A and B are shown apart, each in its own frame.
Chain A
Amino acid sequence: MKLLFGNKKNDLLSLLKKQDPAAQKIFYEQNVKRFLSVSKSYVSDLYQAEDCLIKAFCKIFKHIESFRGESNLDSWARRIVVNECLNFIKSHKTVFYLDEINQSFHEDIHEPEIDCDFNAQDLLDQLPDAYRMVFNLYVLEGYSHQEIADTLQISIPVSKTQLFRAKEKLRKIYFQQQKKVRNENV
C-alpha cells in the first residue's frame, strides 16, 4: 500500500476523506512518532501524551473532510495534536498565570554560548504548565503573542510575561544542571 501512495499526498488525502482504513493506518504510521514527540513536549507523562495522541488522531480522521488543503496536511494535523494537548492540560490541571511584569525585564540578557549537550525534554519537564505551554507555542509552533493569547484565553502582556519567566526558568535549570555535572566531574 505504501508503494501505491508513495509521495502522492493528494491521493492519501482523498482516501482519508473517504474514511479509508488503510489510508488512515498509513497516515498514522507516517506521523505517530513525530506527533508523540510534540505531544510529549506539552504533556510530561508519556502515557498521558499517548492518550492525547489517540484523541488527536481520532479528531483528525473525523474532521478530515473539513481540511480544505490551504495549508500542509501535516501542519494541520500537528495543530490538532497541540490543541488536544492544551485541552488535556486545561481539563486535568489547574494552570496559574502570574501577573504581568515590568517591560524592563523583557530585555534580553547577553550570555555566553552554551554547550549543546543538554536534554531539552528534561528542561521542559521542569517548567510549570503555564510556562511550558506559552514557551512551546511561541518557540516550537511559532505562534505570535496574539495567537497565544487567543488560544489560551489570556491577555497579550500575560503571554509575554509567561514567556519571559519560562526563559528565565530554563536558564536557571540549565546552570543548575551544569553545576551538578561539574561537581560530579570534580
Chain B
Amino acid sequence: MKTFKDNIEFEIKKQIEEREIAPSRDLWSEIDLQNNNNHRSKSKINWFLVAACLMLTLSLGAVLLFLNQPSEIQPEMVKQTRKNTSEEIIKNPVQNNAPLAAQNNDKKEIKTTTPSQNKEEVISAVAIGQNKLIPTETTVKKPEIPQISNPKLLAKADSLKTPVKKKKYVDPSTLLFSVEHKDVIEKTKDGSNVATTIDLNAR
C-alpha cells in the first residue's frame, strides 16, 4: 500500500521531470560569449608562454656571452701589465748604467726569486707562453746588458728584486792590493778587513 509520502514524492518527481521551463532571456548569447572568452584567454596564455620562453632564451644567451667575454680579456690584461713592468725595468738598468758588480747581487736574487716566477707561470700559463721566456742563470751571468738575447728576461729578474740602497763592488786592483798587503792590514786593524773600504773607495 502506497503511503502519502510516497504519493507526494512520486507526484513531485513526475511533475518536475515532465515540466519544461522556457528561459526568460537569451541564455545562448551569454553562453556563447563566455565560451569565446575562454578560448581567447587560452590563446592569450599560449602567446604569453611563447613570449616568456623567447625572453628566457635570449636572456640566457646574453648572460652566457657576457660570461665568456671577460675570460678572453683577462689574459690580455695580464700580458699588458707584464709588458709594462718589464719595459720599465729594462729601461731603468740602462739609464742607471749599473756597474757589473751589481749583477752579482742580482744573480743571487734571481736564484731566490725563480720559484716565485715558476708559480706565476703556472697561474698565467697563457700569458707567459706567449712571451716565450724562461728565466735561466746563464742569461743573467752575461755582464753586458746589450748582449742579452732577450731584454725581457733581465726585466723579469729585476722586477722581482728589492731596491738596493748602496751598491758595493770590488775593484780587481784593490783586491790584488789587499791580498798582497794582507799581513799589514791585519796588524793595523786586528783582523778586520776594513782597509778595502777605506782606502780603495777613496781612490
Contact = CB atoms under 8 A, between A and B. Distances in A.
Contacts of A140: 12-13, 16-17
B67 interface: no
A54 interface: yes
Contacts of B5: 108-109, 111, 167, 171
Given A34-B20, A36-B21, A50-B27, A114 B8 contact: yes
Given A108-B5, A109-B4, 19 more contacts: A21-B32, A21-B35, A24-B31, A33-B22, A36-B20, A36-B21, A37-B21, A53-B27, A58-B34, A58-B35, A108-B3, A109-B5, A110-B1, A113-B2, A113-B4, A113-B7, A167-B5, A170-B12, A174-B8
Q: How large is the interface on B (under 10, 10 to 19, 20 to 34, 35 or more residues)?
A: 20 to 34
Q: How large is the interface on A (under 10, 10 to 19, 20 to 34, 35 or more residues)?
A: 35 or more
B16 A41 contact: yes
B38 interface: yes
Contacts of A139: 9, 12-13
B8 A58 contact: no
Nearest to A141: B13
B24 interface: yes
Contact of B12 (A47, A61, A123): A123
Given A47-B24, A120-B15, A62 B3 contact: no
Contacts of A46: 21, 24
Given A47-B24, A120-B15, A109 B3 contact: yes
A28 to B, nearest CB: 6
B200 to A, nearest CB: 110
B8 A54 contact: no
Given A139-B9, A167-B9, A50 B23 contact: yes
B25 interface: yes
Interface string B45-61: 00000000000000000
